[in-house]
Amino acid sequence: MPSLGADMEQGVLVEWLVKVGDPVHRGDVVAVVETPKSTVEVECFETGTVEELLVSEGERVPVGQALARLGDGAVAAAPPPDASGSPDASGSPEAARSTTAGAPPPTTAPAPRPRPLSPVLRHRARELGVDPVTVHGTGRDGALTRHDVEAAASRPRHRLRVSPLARRLAAQEGVDLDTLTGTGAEGSIRADDVRRAGRHTTPSGRVHPPVSTAPRPAAAAPTSDMRRSIAALMTVSNRDIPHYHLTLTVDLQRGLVWMRERNRELDMAERLVPAALLLAATARAVRSVPELNGHWVDDGFRPAADVDLGLILSLRSGGLLVPAIAGADRLTVDETMARIRELTRRARAGRLRGSDLVQPSITVSNLGDQGVDSVLGVIYPPQVALVGFGAVGDRPWAVDGMLGVRPLVTVSLAGDHRASDGATGSRLLRTIDRLLQTPEEL
Amino acid sequence: MTDDPRTMLETALREIVPDASLDGLDGGADLRETFELDSLDVVELVERLGKRAGFRIEDDDADQLRTVDSATAFLARRARAARH
């Protein structure tokens, strides 16, 4: 059971997407896990054949417990092994637990890459109305092939593949499996698909709430679970962290001009929004102020090796999720945009992956989209800083001794005063400003 | 053959907000506010509309997609221009 958030102690294995005897590859989604905050697709970190499922559907297990055994003896669906990447790195549950106990994520263990998609294939997927994110890739490293996309498009005509839990649910709720479109691997019908179908009388929001069903002990409503979890974390933050707050107003004229020009060159599907620019600049600035990048653990600051940028996404149904962009300081603005898009889509569809939920080393709140001027944030423990962006808007601004109108944004920092002082925080904000003045170098 | 602008707008919106409906919506109502679209949703709307309509919509045109009326007028105008 991987750790899918700093405050996660246990999770419910809602559904297996593989069975004994199935071959699995590193990065394949193998199970669905429910945490207090959301339903998460858990990926496999090894390649092999499923030998035994150690946890049954509906069971609640602590973080670090092995979920399945693979053919080569490795433990599947455990947290990513260390950077060494040795095949036996996650041999025992104890080893797995030690890598997740609030420690920063492994240094260079790459989160499974977003599946590469050639322009031709992307075009074909769009033509057929297939969302590549939902298609299981059979190519190298799980890459999508033309066949995968076309198979997904013709899915309803294929024979039905139904997970055991989905079949049980369908029988309970009287849902006709023939009428469903499966979203699991190779078009298989999953429990979620049945739940959605059985629930069409309720108004559909964009987020599919993790609905709990019969086989599990009754849980409180999902939203209130998420609310409770946010409440607990923020209470700890306000109680334990002596916050200091700083703000700086940044002129975004150059950044936006650059972005507009770049957007004229980009495919419509790859267009940038200002958030991509702001996040890319923040990630790079954080790299140069390592005192703010890391975690406060056992009365001391533990710097993180990478900049894993947490991104606060608010959900239409209320509440929020904080997936992370791993290694954000090494991404171009275009790549940052692609990651923001994927994470937002997956979060809103209620289908984040385990690798999206690594513990961030610092978090960004982009509340500007909600129209507010600035954010005076509350830090996510055990992190030591949170950067906030207000709305980008045209305002009066002195330029060369004259009053001009410029697109401005207020960037803010909430810092943990145990780990850093205001001078360090100021350095971060000034660096973000400086980087945003030369967007072409980002 | 493409749909009429209003249908196109509604279909594209529904792909982002599944229960979106233009029925009974005031022509001058702000789409972003009504459907709680953030900047990413707007970019996606622009992309999906462009794909449906078969022409590229630039960033600078996004302001014309603010309301139902201005968006349908914009789409109709661009479609006419593309035919000539």
H helix or E strand, kind and range, residue A53: strand A48-53
| Closest chain A C-alpha to B47 CA, distance in angstroms | 5
Residue A239 pLDDT > 80: yes
Polymer length of chain B:
84
pLDDT confidence bin for A251, thresholds 50/70/90: very high
CB B28 within 8 A of CB B65: no
The CA–CA distances, whole Å, from A440 to A25, A271, A277, A431, A436 equal 38, 16, 10, 15, 9
| Mean pLDDT value of segment A213-240 | 72
Instruction: Find how far residue A390's CA is from the centre of its chain.
Output: 22
Polymer length of chain A:
442
> Rounded to whole angstroms, how far apart are CA atoms A337 and A351?
19
How much is the pLDDT for A164? 59
Q: Give B57's contacts in chain A (Cβ within 8 Å).
A: 268
**How many C-beta atoms surround the C-beta of residue A342 within 10 A?**
18
Chain A nearest-CA residue for B55:
A268
Task: Specify the pairing of strand A309-311 against strand A362-365.
Answer: parallel
Q: For the range A126-134, what are the long-range contacts, defined as Cβ-Cβ under 8 Å and sequence gap of 24 or more? A: A126/B51, A128/A152, A128/A153, A129/A153, A133/A342, A133/A345, A133/A346, A133/A351, A134/A183
What does the pLDDT profile of chain B (84 residues) look like in tens digits?
467 888 889 888 888 887 778 888 888 888 888 888 888 888 888 888 888 888 888 878 888 888 999 999 999 988 888 777
Most confident of A54-63, A220-229, A292-301: A292-301
pLDDT in tens, A370-408: 889 999 999 999 999 999 999 999 999 998 899 999 999
CB A436 within 8 A of CB A250: yes
| Mean pLDDT value of segment A216-243 | 78
> Rounded to whole angstroms, how far apart are CA atoms A414 and A369?
19
The yes or no reply on domain B5-83 and CATH 1.10.10.10 is no
Pick among B13, B39, B57, B65 to test the A interface (most A CBs inside 10 A):
B39
Which residue in the set B18, B36, B56 is minimally distant from A268, CB to CB?
B56
Nearest to A111 by CA among A423, A328, A428: A328
Q: Does A126 touch chain B (CB under 8 A)?
A: yes
Predicted-assembly ipTM surpassing the 0.85 threshold: no
> Rounded to whole angstroms, how far apart are CA atoms A393 and A18?
49
How much is the pLDDT for A110? 38
Question: In this structure, which amino acid lies at residue A1?
Answer: M
| Closest chain B C-alpha to A174 CA, distance in angstroms | 24
Chain B nearest-CA residue for A271:
B43
Across chain B, which distance is largest between two alpha carbons, in Å? 36
How much is the pLDDT for A430? 98
Q: Does B58 touch chain A (CB under 8 A)?
A: yes
Q: Does B63 touch chain A (CB under 8 A)?
A: no
Between A59 and A96, the more confident residue is A59
Residue A176's Cβ-count burial label (10 Å; 0-12, 13-18, 19+) is: exposed
Nearest to A18 by CA among A29, A6, A9, A27: A29
H/E/C letters for each residue in A156-213?
HHCCCCECHHHHHHHHHHCCCHHHCCCCCHHHCECHHHHHHHCCCCCCCCCCCCCCCC
Domains and CATH numbers, chain A: 10-97 (2.40.50.100), 242-441 (3.30.559.10)
How much is the pLDDT for A92? 38
Nearest to A15 by CA among A155, A238, A190, A201: A190
* Residues paired with residue A313 on neighbouring β-strands, in sequence order: A321
| Closest chain B C-alpha to A66 CA, distance in angstroms | 37
> Rounded to whole angstroms, how far apart are CA atoms A364 and A297?
20
pLDDT in tens, A155-187: 543 446 666 567 666 766 667 776 777 776 666
B63 Cβ contact list (under 8 Å, min separation 6): none
HSE, CB side, 13 Å, CA atoms: give it for residue A269: 9
Q: Does A340 touch chain B (CB under 8 A)?
A: yes
* Contact (CB<8Å) A268/B19: no
Residue A205 pLDDT > 60: no
Chain A nearest-CA residue for B37:
A369
HSE, CB side, 13 Å, CA atoms: give it for residue A241: 29
| Mean pLDDT value of segment A256-264 | 94
Percent of chain A with pLDDT over 90: 40
* Residues paired with residue A13 on neighbouring β-strands, in sequence order: A33
pLDDT in tens, A335-380: 999 999 999 988 888 888 988 988 999 999 998 878 899 999 999 9
Q: Does B19 touch chain A (CB under 8 A)?
A: yes
pLDDT in tens, A114-165: 445 666 666 667 666 666 666 666 666 666 776 776 777 665 434 466 665 6
Pick among A271, A278, A311, A370 to test the B interface (most B CBs inside 10 A):
A271
The CA–CA distances, whole Å, from A413 to A243, A375, A397, B56 equal 10, 8, 22, 38
Q: Does A87 touch chain B (CB under 8 A)?
A: no
* Contact (CB<8Å) A369/B38: yes
How much is the pLDDT for A204? 39
* Contact (CB<8Å) B40/A203: no
| Mean pLDDT value of segment A195-219 | 47
Pick among A201, A273, A314, A341 to test the B interface (most B CBs inside 10 A):
A273
Between A252 and A222, the more confident residue is A252
The CA–CA distances, whole Å, from A62 to A3, A13, A43, A65 equal 9, 11, 17, 6
Q: Taking the alpha carbons of A180, A182, A187, A191 in that order, is the dihedral positive or negative? A: negative
| Mean pLDDT value of segment A207-229 | 54
Question: DSSP secondary-structure letter at A129?
Answer: T
3-class state of residue A407 by DSSP: strand
How much is the pLDDT for A276? 96
Which residue in the set B19, B47, B59 is minimally distant from A203, CB to CB?
B19
Between A102 and B36, the more confident residue is B36
How much is the pLDDT for A272? 94
Mean pLDDT score of chain A: 79
CB A189 within 8 A of CB A160: yes
Q: Give B17's contacts in chain A (Cβ within 8 Å).
A: 206
How much is the pLDDT for A269? 86
Residue A105 pLDDT > 60: no
pLDDT confidence bin for A109, thresholds 50/70/90: very low
Q: Give B43's contacts in chain A (Cβ within 8 Å).
A: 271, 273
Q: DSSP H helical segments within A84-156, as ranges? A: 93-100, 119-127, 146-153
How much is the pLDDT for A368? 80
Give the pair of three-digit tokens for residue A60.
Answer: 């609640």
* Contact (CB<8Å) B17/A273: no
How much is the pLDDT for A293? 98
Between A96 and A127, the more confident residue is A127
Residue A212 pLDDT > 50: no
